[in-house]
Amino acid sequence: IQGVLAARVDLLSPIEKRVLQHACIIGRTFWLSALIEIASDLPTSTIVETLDSLIQRDFIVVAEKQARSPVENDQVFTFKHVLIRDVVYNNIPRMRRSQEHAQLALWLEEKIKGNAEPFAELLAYHYQQALSTWSAGFVPGMVSVVTNHDSPETSSSPVRLTRPELRRRAITYTTMAGDQALHSYFTIRAIQAYSEALELLLDSNADSQAIAAMHEKLGGAYTQRGNLDEAWQGYRRALQLVTAEPEAESDHLLHLYNHLAELGTRWLGLFNTSPDIQETRTYIDAGLKLLEGEPLSGQHAEFLTYQAFWYVRNQWESADTQERGKFANLALQSGNEALRIAEELHDTEAIWLTLDALAYIYGKQHKYQDAHKTQHYRQKFADQIKSRVELNDLYFSLGWTHEAVSDYPTSLKWFGYSWRVAQTMESPTMLLSCLIGRMLAWQRWNRWDEAQQAASSILQMVEQYQHNEQWQLEALETLTVIAYLTGQQEEGDGYLRQYKRVLERYCTRADTIATMPLIHLAREDWTRAAAEYRELLERSEPFPSPNMLALLAELVVITGESVEVQKASCERAIAAAEQSGTRRSLAIALRARGRMHLEQHRWKQAEADLNQALKWANDLDLPWDKGKALYCLGLLYRLRSDVRGKNRPNERKADLGRAQSHFEKALGFFESLKAVHDAERARLALAQDHWAPV
């Protein structure tokens, strides 16, 4: 195609070629006023006539959408195809290209006269192109230009553009273009612009503070994109350069400490490699030290908030139960003190931050109702928050908060809002986080088809954006579990191999000891599942997950542990579920206790617990849990008819009828989910004349 286009260009007259080449310098879309400036050796009438000829020959067209021009009522044209522009542009001598880009940039600066922002991208582009092959001997025509590095001033004499001057202008406008892109959430362009500006600064042997400022800008852009590892390195490098100066400004240091402390605590979950915990603590302590003796401000609340997050990290990384409890208390104290200061100052941003921390702390301590209340209190301030990053975090947090209390439809709604915001931010990390939240909500709501679709999308996104494979773990676990539950043994084995490979690659041996209890449950390897849950329980004391306690209680009953162990496990699971507000866990814990009573032939208590478990499953619309509760009730009526109905034929007949009805209903739910093992058990129970084993 390019050969055909080149042949067409060769048929043009020298004047037509010349005008077309000048137009290429301006861009795919170009203005008549700029063309007249660059082609100053040609009369305006000749340029206009040549443009008409090029239109007739299908090289250019009049632009349908008027591009912004520095000249009022300007005529705007565009190349009919981008390849035409590329072919012509590549045939212009490099030296001439450079000179005309510089001439156009100087002309544009003169025309905009201090209103550079709308044209920052164009100016950055033309100065960078001019810089690529610059000759110091070129002197552009008489124009008004910026001669002072800090403020625009006019000059009535030609400017001899040196390479350093060109570089300085390229840095100025490239940085401005990056700022605009960041403000508009075009983070890819912002990162690109700041990286280009940083390279130009390094080439020019700029002072360390200018380089530090650019590293800081890159840190902000990477943060907005969700690339926290790169953001961390950007802010660290900026801090190193700033502290190398003998008299660094306290405000600037505080600003950098704030960014690093927030990244290393609040956004810890978005890192591929977590920052060192003690290094993070040094930034928190440094910020608090700088604030000593100063009047209370929102910054005091912010650093106390980061301290609270830091305590939570210590809570979960500590191997000692008492230490975990101590850090949990310290986290709450620091978070509440931060909130007190923020509310006393009526500082909305500080209140917003501290409420987020407190909800996170409550969640980690499984006080889900408190977390739910706190996040909705935070939501009241949303109208005053302009940052999309913060709004995305609010919606994302509300999604998890509602998932924790088993309100799955509302959880999915908030994850949907979070997804829509993340889509406007060019942030694959935030999109993946939202999709993982949605996947887990679908799975826990027993919507396995939707969970599988979300998991497959996660795997595709990780590959598409070349993200760290660790982002695949939860999706691979979900796909493995559902494959085994639905009888897809070979498919499940394949996903399990992938899951283990990623685990082994990115996790330490200690981290992989108890990582597959859900998979063991799906494979009905009750003993291994119980062993891993016990390991996780020991690691999480004194704040075990209510869901883990409920599942372990049911496993203890299934595996035939002692009556004392069964009773203690069931009672603890029910109490934890009730206190936390997680209703699905309560349904599982009640079902576990009902099964325990069933095996002990305590019919009344078993029936009460299993009916209560069924009620919760109905209220939450959990088809798998409804099927399991119904199946257990069927077992209850079958066993009761067998044990006590020998001398009571009417009661026996009634119980057998109830058992038949419950098994049939259970089978319907299992078949709708393609839960093959559960369905097979229900069919077997229906085929038997009497008791089927638990």
pLDDT digits (tens, 9 = 90+) for 544-575: 999 999 999 999 999 999 999 999 999 999 99
pLDDT digits (tens, 9 = 90+) for 305-342: 999 999 999 999 999 999 999 999 999 999 999 999 99
Q: Is the pLDDT of residue 154 over 50?
A: no
Q: Is the pLDDT of residue 141 over 60?
A: no
Q: Residue 67: is it exposed, middle or buried by C-beta count within 10 angstroms (0-12/13-18/19+)? A: middle
* CA dist., res. 193 & res. 180, Å (int): 10
Q: Is the pLDDT of residue 694 over 50?
A: no
Q: Is the pLDDT of residue 151 over 50?
A: no
Model pLDDT, residue 155: 41
- At residue 464 the predicted structure's pLDDT band, cuts being 50, 70 and 90, is very high
Amino acid at 528: R
* CA dist., res. 152 & res. 114, Å (int): 7
CA nearest to 327, candidates 339, 341, 314: 314
Spell out the alpha helix ranges (H) of 205-273.
208-225, 228-243, 250-265
* CA dist., res. 130 & res. 55, Å (int): 28
Pairing of strands 29-31, 76-79: antiparallel
* CA dist., res. 237 & res. 220, Å (int): 13
> Can you tell me whether residue 543 is helix, strand or coil?
coil
Among the listed ranges 144-153, 488-497, 654-663, which one has the minimum average pLDDT value? 144-153
Q: Is the pLDDT of residue 150 over 70?
A: no
Average pLDDT over residues 661-665: 97
The answer to whether residues 143 and 106 touch, using CB atoms and an 8 Å cutoff, is yes
- At residue 144 the predicted structure's pLDDT band, cuts being 50, 70 and 90, is very low
pLDDT digits (tens, 9 = 90+) for 505-537: 887 655 655 679 999 999 999 999 999 999 999
Model pLDDT, residue 138: 54
Orientation angle between helical segments 208-225 and 163-183, nearest 10 degrees: 30
Q: Is pLDDT larger for residue 694 or for residue 418?
A: 418
Average pLDDT over residues 275-287: 98
The answer to whether residues 616 and 665 touch, using CB atoms and an 8 Å cutoff, is no
Model pLDDT, residue 374: 98
Q: What is the DSSP string of 474-494?
A: HHHHHHHHHHHHTT-HHHHHH
Q: Is the pLDDT of residue 466 over 50?
A: yes
Residue labelled with tokens 């063309």: 35
Sequence-ordered strand ranges (E) for 301-445? none
Residue labelled with tokens 């890192």: 271
- At residue 246 the predicted structure's pLDDT band, cuts being 50, 70 and 90, is confident
Beta carbons within 10 angstroms of residue 547's beta carbon: 21
Q: Is the pLDDT of residue 479 over 80?
A: yes
Q: How many helices (H) and strands (E) does the chain have?
A: 32, 3
Model pLDDT, residue 513: 59
Phi, psi (rounded to 5 degrees) for 470: -55, -25
Model pLDDT, residue 5: 81
Q: Is the pLDDT of residue 353 over 50?
A: yes
Q: Is the pLDDT of residue 143 over 90?
A: no
- At residue 420 the predicted structure's pLDDT band, cuts being 50, 70 and 90, is very high
* CA dist., res. 664 & res. 266, Å (int): 50
Q: Is the pLDDT of residue 152 over 50?
A: no
Integer angstrom CA distances of residue 679 from 472, 667, 683: 30, 5, 6
Average pLDDT over residues 436-445: 98
Q: Is the pLDDT of residue 452 over 90?
A: yes
Residues pairing with 78 in the sheet: 29, 61
Average pLDDT over residues 340-353: 97
CA nearest to 524, candidates 683, 625, 675, 669: 675
Integer angstrom CA distances of residue 50 from 46, 59, 74, 299, 314: 6, 11, 17, 63, 73
Q: Is pLDDT larger for residue 692 or for residue 28?
A: 28
Amino acid at 484: Y
Report the sign of the C-alpha dihedral through residues 566, 572, 575, 578, in that order.
negative
Residue labelled with tokens 């206009």: 48
Model pLDDT, residue 688: 83
CA end-to-end span of the chain = 73
Model pLDDT, residue 137: 53
Average pLDDT over residues 214-243: 97
Return the ∠ at Cα 211 (arms to 209 and 215), rounded to 5°. Answer: 115
The answer to whether residues 290 and 254 touch, using CB atoms and an 8 Å cutoff, is yes
* CA dist., res. 110 & res. 345, Å (int): 47
Model pLDDT, residue 509: 57
Integer angstrom CA distances of residue 192 from 175, 182, 196, 374, 574: 10, 11, 6, 38, 54
Model pLDDT, residue 159: 61
* CA dist., res. 181 & res. 174, Å (int): 10
pTM, full prediction: 0.91
Q: Which two tokens stand for residue 598?
A: 């069933």
Phi, psi (rounded to 5 degrees) for 29: -105, 135
* CA dist., res. 226 & res. 611, Å (int): 46
Q: Is the pLDDT of residue 147 over 50?
A: no
* CA dist., res. 591 & res. 506, Å (int): 37
For all residues of the chain together, what is the average pLDDT? 92
Model pLDDT, residue 494: 97
| Cis peptide, bond prior to residue 70, ω within 30 of zero | no
Residue 138: CA atoms inside 13 Å, Cβ hemisphere, count?
21
Among the listed ranges 363-377, 452-466, 642-656, 667-681, which one has the minimum average pLDDT value? 642-656
The answer to whether residues 306 and 265 touch, using CB atoms and an 8 Å cutoff, is yes
* CA dist., res. 296 & res. 678, Å (int): 61
